[in-house]
Every structure is written in structure tokens, then in C-alpha cells.
Structure 1
Amino acid sequence: MQTYDFIIVGSGSAGSVVAEKLSASGRFSVLVLEAGGSDNRFFVQMPLGYGKTFFDPAVNWNYRTEPDPGLAGNADHWPRGKILGGSSSINAMVWIRGAREDFDAWAAAGNPGWGYDDVLPIFKAIEDNEAGADEWRGRGGPIHVTDNRARIHRLTTRYLKAAEQAGLSTNNDFNGANQEGAGIYQITTKNGRRMSAARAFLRPAMNRANVRVETNALATKILFDGKRAVGIEYVRNGETRTARAGREVIVSGGSINSPQLLQLSGIGPAGLLSNLGIPLVQQSENVGRNLQDHQGINYTWKAKWPTLNQILRPWWGKLLVGMHYLVLRSGPLSMSMNQGGGFFRTDPGQARPNMQLYFQAFSTVLPKLGERPILSPDPWPGFSIGLSNCRPSSRGEIMIRSKDPQDHPRITPNAFSTNEDVSEMLDAVKFLRRIAAQPALADVIAEEVLPGPSITSDADLIQDFRKRSGTVYHPVSTCRMGPDPARAVVDPRLKVHGLSGLRVIDASIFPDNIAGNTNAASIMTGWKGAEMVLEDNR
């Protein structure tokens, strides 16, 4: 059995950062265990290739939730990265940090050091922002953030004008002074390639002699000596192995895999573990609970103008943009499908924005089996405006089904399970039509395709968004951070309550979800968590 100073389970958005920072000085040995394989794949590195990874079991856990009454009984598809870089290797690359109020609320809940003024320097240190450095943005960091304003489709410009006509201000930087308004999304790419956490952090760390990364290595159990974590049991190539951690075990599996591993290791709800015959190491009723996720929906229109559909669907268009990408690393394949977006309030009485917008200059209404048809859009000119709720009040849970580590856990989102969430979403989808009705977009719209002009009553709109909504891939809080062991899994230094030598560092520790995409905040959590580990292991 080999011994390392630190064992990190998971090489995703947070785990990659932790590996880089803990190994940088050369003082500590680090083992990274990743259940998936290499990220050296064409459709992983090509930004718009994430449509090809949406169902690909070679890089994706392909989770499916329990049938959800809030989603009209649908069992939602939850893609999560099973690959170096984790979900940062298969996501839509939108770079949103979250609002000041989000992090200030974390600190106010008893988590010192997690307020906005504490984490802003970390966000700036992380970034190499193409838009330039200022009071909020950073330059020279590991993550290159592309400013897309000069690259957008002309229909995106129309969307921005329509949003302004609908009452939204123009926001040139959602990571700047405030989030509210409509604007262009910054994305994590560099020179036409995806800038995942693996590319930015883990790959440089892998060049160091004190770092070992084992792929296709499924962690099955945390090993303990009494109440102290001392190692990991894992399976690689059909062989069960163990590795010892001389200092700490760090779980960075994400909001699904982290609570799963804790529960398999005897940390979790006592009743669940007893029923499955798993010896209790530490009762922690909140492991797997407090699940929060953003729910989203698209409204789609046929356009009078050509959209990206006419470029990306025909064989000659695919050939053209493919050659353009291979030679110049630019064009539609070098971008995310979400070019424009924004944040708005469904009610002026809201203290801050509670909904996020997404504009896509193409449409994917017609299904294609086994693939998210980003690279095979509809045969007619179409575009979509989507939205997701920023701070839903619904709570779900993630619980293991059995003692088998390869058995996917039971995911119960409980989407739209509160009247507040339903009411907010109803107001929000009405606002989508309000944007589309403004002169800047109305002039180029031929007809509404989804949900269609016959869906007008509140009851029909609610039924529609229950049937068509789904995750926007931002699950958090299943190992939530807080000072009270009765309400949280980890303390403000990310140590698991009641145990030593064990931390969780990933999005599962978020006390509450943030307004916006979660990848940037996950990377920040990895950075800050690693700093805490280094401080405590001097």
C-alpha cells in the first residue's frame, strides 16, 4: 500500500485546483483518483462538441433522477463529467461567479472567510480575462476567460436590443459591479479550445514528480482509524487497491459522488446506513440532503432570418465550419451555444435578480436519439430564449441504493415542490414572451414553436414548464457547509464534522446555491479549500 500526504478523490472543477495548489511547493505528495479517463478527446476539447458528450458513457456518468412529480413525472437526465476535469470538461463553459449577496449570505450563516470581499481576490487570481483587468476582473491567472462580444451572431444583437426594450439594462460584465441586465456571456476557452479545470490546473500539476493521477480508479470507501480518515479503497482495472493518506483525505467528487462516497464509508443518515448494513462511522443526517438545483426551460421561435441552424445542419455547413475550426480555431464550433443572456427580477419587489436568461441563435426542437443535437439543429431557421431560476426554495436529496459503489445513487430533485418556485417560474416564462414581442425581435419572428401560441392560460403555462423543464446542471449543497453539525456536513474550513483528516472540497459544500452557473464558484472553492489545507498542514 502506497502512502501519500494527500489523497484527492475526483479531478473535477475543484479537485483539479486542489491538486495543483497542494503540489506546487513540492513539499507534499499528492494522489488524485479519477473514476473516468483522459480528457484528450476531440469533442471534449472542441467547445461546441459538448453536444456529443451529453450522453456519452465514456466521459459522462449519465445519471437519471427518480420520476419527479414537479416535472410532470419525468425522470430527468443529469449529465456529470466522468473524465479528467470532471463536469468542467463537458459543460457549456459559461463563466459566472455568482452575486455579491450570495457569498455574503454564506458568511452571514456562520461561515467566516466566505463573504464576497473574501472570495473576490480568489476569483481575480483565477482569471486570465480577455476583457482586461479592472476592479473585478483578473489577468494572468490559470483560467482563460474569452470575451465574446466581437464574435456573436447578429440575432444575438437583436436579442440584446429586445431585452432593453423590455426594460432590462445592458450589462457588459455579469462578473462586475452587479449581475442585473442583459449582455454577452464570457466563456472558458482559449485559442478555440475548452479551458477546463484539467487544462488549467491538473495538467500543469501532472508534470510534477510529487503528483500521481490514476484514471479509471473508482473510490469505493474511505478508510478510518477510529475517527480519523487514513486512506482510500478503490477499484482500478478490476483490482481492489488501497492508498494511505499521511495527512488528509480530500473528497472532491461533486454534489453526487461526494455524498455517495461518504455514505458508502459510513458517514451519513443513521437509518439509511443501518438499513443497508453499512457500519456507522459518523452519524451525519445532512449527507445527501439539502439538494438544490436550478431548473430551466427554453421557448423557441422560427425566424425570418437564417440562424446557426442553416450553417450547422447541412453536410456542407458542417464541412465549412469544421474546416474553419480546424484551420483557424474559430467560428461557431469555438463557442458555447449560449451567446447572450442576463439576469432579471420576476417582481420589482425582489431585492435582486432571481432568474437567469440564455439566448441561443439556433434551435434543437426535433429530438435526435442518444445525442443532444447541438451539432444537428432543426432544419428551419430557429432560435431560443431560455431561463432558469437562481434561488429555488425546493429541496431534494441524493441517497445510495445499496452498498455497491457502482450502483448509481437515488436522486430526488423535488423540482417545483414549493408554491414560491411555481409562481416565480410562471412570471418568468411570461417575461420570455415579453422579450420576443419587442420590435427588435418581433420583426424577425415567423412564429412561436414552443410552447406554441395556444398555450396562454396560467394553468397551461404551468403544465408546460412542468413537462419541459429540467436541470441546468447546477446541483449543490449535498454536503453543505456550516458551523452546526446538526444542520451541516462540513465546517467553514471544509472539515467533516466529528471526524479528522477528512474534508470535502467541491460544490456540494455550498450552503445555498448561487445566482448563475456554478463552475466558477466550484473552482474558487477548490482554490480556497486548498489554501485552508495548506494553512492547517504547515
Structure 2
Amino acid sequence: MTMHNDLPQSFDFIVVGAGSAGCVLANRLSADGRFRVCLIEAGSSDRTPRIKIPAGTLTLYKSRRFAYQFFSTPQEHLANRRIHVPRGKALGGSTTLNSMIYIRGDRTDYDHWQALGCTGWGWDSVLPEFRDLEHCHRHLDPAFHGFRGELDVTTPRDVNPLSRSFVQAGVSAGLPENSDFNGAQLEGVGIYDVTQRDGYRLSAYRAFVHPILNRPNFTMIADAQVRNLVLEAEVARGIVIVQGGETRLLRAEREIVLCAGAIGSPQILMASGIGRSEDLIAAGISPVHHLPGVGQNLQDHLDGLVTVRSTDHRTLGFSGRSLPAVLKSPLKFLFGRKGWLTTNYVEAGGFARTPLACDSVPDIQFHFVPGYRSPRGRLFEWGHGIAIHTCVLRPKSRGSIRLATDGSNRPVIDFSFASEPRDLEVLCEGIRYARRILEQAAFDGTRGTEIAPGKDVVSDGQILDYLRQSAATVFHPAGTCRMGVDEDAVVTPRLKLRGIEGLRIADASIMPTLISGNTSAPSMMIGAKAARMILEDA
């Protein structure tokens, strides 16, 4: 690689990572025109139908072009399996491949952050940020929703009838129907709201960055991998990026903000010599600033699957009976934004309390799939079926991110899933709950043979063994640059890195504890709140 001999480009603020938080942050920082803002993204263009059309999400998780294909270390408590961890690698980050579900979490999640000393992060403080970002297309309570923001939030365009059957079955199983998971109550079953516009995926990039590309004080740099931060006398002054085989230095006159996610942000810090000194030395990195919390506190929602075969051709699947609908789907989408191509595959779901829930807040989440989910991990299987994913909302287990010791600086991801046995016990109860929903009369015309766990897997021991062999991430990593007021915290409640000036972090990595639900919308809120803090300080 060669270093450009030109003088380094200079900006007031450099934002690293064009995902959920970074896109919002870059938008807000550049909005009033006072500051020169640069947004850096390692991924490239999102111009493909696979991203734009909702149903294309199924093709993205194993794509090497649009997703980082990370794998965890062997998980000791999950039969030593390596867990697949795909993360978005395009303009928009993981909002280019997620299921577009808009969930904020429970108010108690944020009030808990406040109780931990994170002043300004309680529910009453973060709700205005959520409202400001949202362009709600439903007639919902304005006390909870915004109607003028950039992020379109709406219902799926053409809900599969089996998704509505799931809601009916959930009610029969004792759960309330919930028409607004982002309103007064999280618990219940219903159709999820999604981040779509006119039937197309609306990523963070398309909502917050693409419309501002012509702002004279805003610069977007894609296909640029951040190699390391440039530190001078405990002040972050710039970043070194690699783009097209060449190395460039970008300088920040005011601040650098890492928004590279729960894997990317600690990886960049450690590659720059910031982290636990002994881990850095083991990776061949000279320690610059000993900050032992970097990469620690990794949390994710552990997920288990109940999948059922069916002959009901209304479900998403390939068969002779469904072939006409499959062949018509491109035309239905093109001319009316209807049909199979509109699905995000998890149109319905909900939140429930198992017998192990310690308070009145749900401890599991359901993602219902009106199609057959292969227990073998295949993207497509011939035939039909239905499935319920169940995840543990408030995991006790904590893992870590470290750097590889082979000199590559690649992240080594160890979730330590189920290191706290209670997580698997809650998930076991969640599997029982999912089965109870599938047993309801609403599925009488659809229900077939349970393939996984299987009808013979009934005792706690058998279900726990099944989960050890099959449970996986539901793609919500968080917590690896924890916000707090104690010595092990990585950032302060103002999101400033402890011990280094001119450097903040704003993404899911700052979450002290994982929120109860999908993490995209909360990450956008974090980006908006970070912008407000930075502009106040400026």
C-alpha cells in the first residue's frame, strides 16, 4: 500500500460507519451547515434489487459482497459450535440486510440505564429522539410517535394470511393483541411495523444520507476500511483509511465518532492501541491507552427455533401448488407492491413472559415465519411450513471481542452464550410457549409435522440438549464499548471515550444492557442523541 503524498483532508467531524447510528449522526451534524462532516463506510453501493426489495433479505445473510461473514469462537456451552454472525457491508450497514422490524424496546430498558448512572438516557429522555426520527404512516398516539421524521414506519404491504393466524393463535394462548409495540405496552402479539417506503426497504442510508449527498459541508467516502485512529498526546486527531489499495490520512479538527457497531467499534479501538493492554500485546499491538472494558460486555439475543412442515400452500414455499404465485410475484410487486416479494419473512411476532420472568416485563420475543425454516441452515427448502423463532430478551451471559493473534487485526468474537445457565432455561420455556401457540385452533388447517425440535423432544433435558445443538444469534450484538460512570466503562454518558479527547462512540456497542427487542431503531436513537450532545458541546 502507498500513502498519498497530498496534504491530508481535514474535516470538523469524522463519523466512522454508515449504519443505523452513523447515518443519523452524519445527517444531524451536517444539518445546520456550520461544520464539515465526513462519513466513512467500508461497504459499497446498495444499488441492487436484493437490498431494495424486501424479500431479497433472505439472499443477503450469506453474501460475501454485502455482509461480513463473521463466525464466533467455538461456544463451550452450545456444543462447541461456531455461530454465524453476518453484519452489513454496504451503505446503510446492517439496515441493508435486516428484517426491517421497527422496535424500540421497553421503557424499563432505558430507565435501567439511567439507574446505572447514565444520566439523560432514561425513557423520558430518549422518547423525544425516537419521535423526532419517525415518520409514522399509521394513526397512532402522538405521545409515542412522530410524523415528520425521515424514517418511514408502516405496516407490511401484503401480510401473509398465516401471519394473521399467528396473532389469533397468540391471543388464544393467553397473550393480548398488540397493535403498537412502540406504544404504551410491549407485551402481546401483532403485526410488526417495518421501515419501508412505497413497499421498498428503507435503510438508514436511504432515509438519512442519500437525501443530503449534495450538502456542501458533507462528504461521503465509501469502500474505505479504517486501519487505525491517529492519536497525539491522548487526543484523537485523525484516522488512517485504506481505499482502493492506497492509504490515506483524514484529520478531524473537532471530533471522531465511531459508529462501526458492536464488533467494528472495539476492533478499531484495539487496532489503534486502545484496550486491555495484555490482549493488545498478545495481538502484536503496542498499547497506547489501557482501557480494559473495550471489547468486553458482549451481549446478544440467543434464539431457538420451532419449525413445522405443512401442506398449506398459502405459506411461503416452493411447490407445484405455489408455482403460479411465485411466477406472478414479480408482476404483483412491480405494479402494486403486493405479493411474495413484499415480505420481510417475519411480519408478525410478539413479546411474552415465561414463568421465569422476574418482573412484569417480557423476557422472550417471537418472530413468526409463514414459511418453512430449514433446521439444516439452508436458505431454501422445497415445500411448505411455518416456524417461530424465540429469543431471550434479557440475557445474563456476557462475552467479548478481541483481536486475532495472527497479525490480521480481525475480530475474535466469543459470545459465551449460555455461560449463565438461566439463559437456556428461559429459552427452554420460550420453546414451550411457541409450541403452545402453534397448538391453537388458528393453525388447525396448517399444522403439520414438527421437524424441530421434534415431537419426541418433550422434557426439559431434551429441549435443553436440542438448544445446545441448534440455538444461535438473532443478530443483535451490543454492549462492547459500554457506557457508564464506573472505571470499567468505555464511554461516559456523554459518549466520550474515557482518557482520550476528541473521540466518542455512538452505536449499539455503548448499551450497558441489551434492550428488549430489535436493535436498529435504538441505534438510530443513539446516533441522534449523540449528535445533540456533540452540537451542545460545540
Shared fold, TM over 0.5: yes
TM superposition score normalised by structure 1: 0.95
1:261 maps to 268
Secondary structure in 1 matching 2:532: helix
Q: How far has the Cα of 1:315 moved from its partner?
A: 5.7
Q: How far has the Cα of 1:324 moved from its partner?
A: 1.4
Say which is worse superposed, 304-313 or 204-213, in terms of deviation. 304-313
How big is each residue's C-alpha offset from its partner over 1:146-200, in whole Å with a ceiling of 9 and x where there is no partner? Answer: 123x732222222212111111111111101010111110011110111110001
How many residue pairs are counted as aligned between the two chains?
528
Is the 8 Å Cα contact of residues 158 and 338 (structure 2) preserved in structure 1?
Answer: no
Is the 8 Å Cα contact of residues 19 and 205 (structure 1) preserved in structure 2?
Answer: no
Secondary structure in 2 matching 1:15: helix
2:425 corresponds, among 423, 443, 452, to 423
Q: How far has the Cα of 1:305 moved from its partner?
A: 2.6
Mapped to 2, the partners of 1:91 and 1:18 lie a distance apart of: 20
1:307 corresponds, among 306, 314, 317, to 314
Say which is worse superposed, 503-512 or 122-131, in terms of deviation. 122-131
1:183 aligns with 2:203: no
Mapped to 2, the partners of 1:338 and 1:246 lie a distance apart of: 44
How big is each residue's C-alpha offset from its partner over 1:371-424, in whole Å with a ceiling of 9 and x where there is no partner? Answer: x62xx4x332201111101000000000011485x6421100111111211211
1:128 maps to 135
2:460 maps to 458
Q: How far has the Cα of 1:348 moved from its partner?
A: 7.0
How big is each residue's C-alpha offset from its partner over 1:428-472, in whole Å with a ceiling of 9 and x where there is no partner? Answer: 111111112222224531221212111112211111111111100
1:160 maps to 167
Letter in 1 for 2:338: S
Mapped to 2, the partners of 1:192 and 1:349 lie a distance apart of: 37
Is the 8 Å Cα contact of residues 164 and 191 (structure 2) preserved in structure 1?
Answer: no
Is the 8 Å Cα contact of residues 264 and 403 (structure 1) preserved in structure 2?
Answer: no
Structure 1's 240 and 315: CA in aligned 2 closer, same or farther, altered over 3 A?
A: farther
Q: How far has the Cα of 1:489 moved from its partner?
A: 0.2
1:359 aligns with 2:383: no
Q: How far has the Cα of 1:328 moved from its partner?
A: 2.3
* 1:407-418 equivalences in 2 (<5 Å): 407-418=409-420
1:448 corresponds, among 419, 440, 450, to 450
Is the 8 Å Cα contact of residues 26 and 39 (structure 2) preserved in structure 1?
Answer: yes
Mapped to 2, the partners of 1:247 and 1:133 lie a distance apart of: 40
Letter in 1 for 2:211: P
Mapped to 1, the partners of 2:482 and 2:431 lie a distance apart of: 30
Mapped to 2, the partners of 1:255 and 1:360 lie a distance apart of: 27
* 1:121-520 equivalences in 2 (<5 Å): 121-134=128-141, 135-148=143-156, 151-310=158-317, 316-347=324-355, 350-351=358-359, 352-365=361-374, 367=376, 373=379, 376=380, 378-402=381-405, 404=407, 407-484=409-486, 486-520=487-521
Q: How far has the Cα of 1:364 moved from its partner?
A: 2.7
Q: How far has the Cα of 1:349 moved from its partner?
A: 5.5
1:94 aligns with 2:101: yes
Letter in 2 for 1:360: V
How big is each residue's C-alpha offset from its partner over 1:203-251, in whole Å with a ceiling of 9 and x where there is no partner? Answer: 1222211111111100011001111000001111111110100000111
Structure 1's 257 and 312: CA in aligned 2 closer, same or farther, altered over 3 A?
A: farther
Mapped to 1, the partners of 2:77 and 2:334 lie a distance apart of: 43
Letter in 2 for 1:341: G
Q: How far has the Cα of 1:88 moved from its partner?
A: 0.7
Structure 1's 348 and 229: CA in aligned 2 closer, same or farther, altered over 3 A?
A: closer
Secondary structure in 2 matching 1:530: helix
Is the 8 Å Cα contact of residues 312 and 318 (structure 1) preserved in structure 2?
Answer: no
Mapped to 1, the partners of 2:148 and 2:310 lie a distance apart of: 41
Which ranges in structure 2 are unaligned for 5 or more consecutive residues? 1-7
Mapped to 2, the partners of 1:510 and 1:403 lie a distance apart of: 30
Q: How far has the Cα of 1:306 moved from its partner?
A: 2.0
1:8 corresponds, among 15, 19, 44, to 15
* 1:47-62 equivalences in 2 (<5 Å): 47-62=54-69
Is the 8 Å Cα contact of residues 316 and 340 (structure 2) preserved in structure 1?
Answer: no
Is the 8 Å Cα contact of residues 317 and 372 (structure 2) preserved in structure 1?
Answer: no
Is the 8 Å Cα contact of residues 309 and 379 (structure 1) preserved in structure 2?
Answer: no
Is the 8 Å Cα contact of residues 223 and 229 (structure 1) preserved in structure 2?
Answer: yes
Is the 8 Å Cα contact of residues 34 and 215 (structure 1) preserved in structure 2?
Answer: yes
Mapped to 1, the partners of 2:29 and 2:368 lie a distance apart of: 39
Mapped to 1, the partners of 2:283 and 2:160 lie a distance apart of: 54
Letter in 2 for 1:95: Y
Is the 8 Å Cα contact of residues 307 and 383 (structure 1) preserved in structure 2?
Answer: no
> How well do the aligned residues superpose, as a CA RMSD in angstroms?
1.7
Say which is worse superposed, 137-146 or 100-109, in terms of deviation. 137-146
Structure 1's 304 and 53: CA in aligned 2 closer, same or farther, altered over 3 A?
A: closer
Percent identity over paired residues: 38
Structure 1's 527 and 349: CA in aligned 2 closer, same or farther, altered over 3 A?
A: closer
How big is each residue's C-alpha offset from its partner over 1:31-52, in whole Å with a ceiling of 9 and x where there is no partner? Answer: 1111110111110111110111
Mapped to 1, the partners of 2:286 and 2:382 lie a distance apart of: 56
Letter in 2 for 1:499: I
Letter in 1 for 2:331: M
Structure 1's 113 and 419: CA in aligned 2 closer, same or farther, altered over 3 A?
A: same
Is the 8 Å Cα contact of residues 318 and 384 (structure 2) preserved in structure 1?
Answer: no
Is the 8 Å Cα contact of residues 132 and 138 (structure 1) preserved in structure 2?
Answer: no
Structure 1's 468 and 2: CA in aligned 2 closer, same or farther, altered over 3 A?
A: same
Letter in 1 for 2:366: L
Q: How far has the Cα of 1:297 moved from its partner?
A: 1.8
Secondary structure in 1 matching 2:448: strand
Secondary structure in 1 matching 2:238: strand
Q: How far has the Cα of 1:274 moved from its partner?
A: 2.2
Structure 1's 348 and 168: CA in aligned 2 closer, same or farther, altered over 3 A?
A: farther
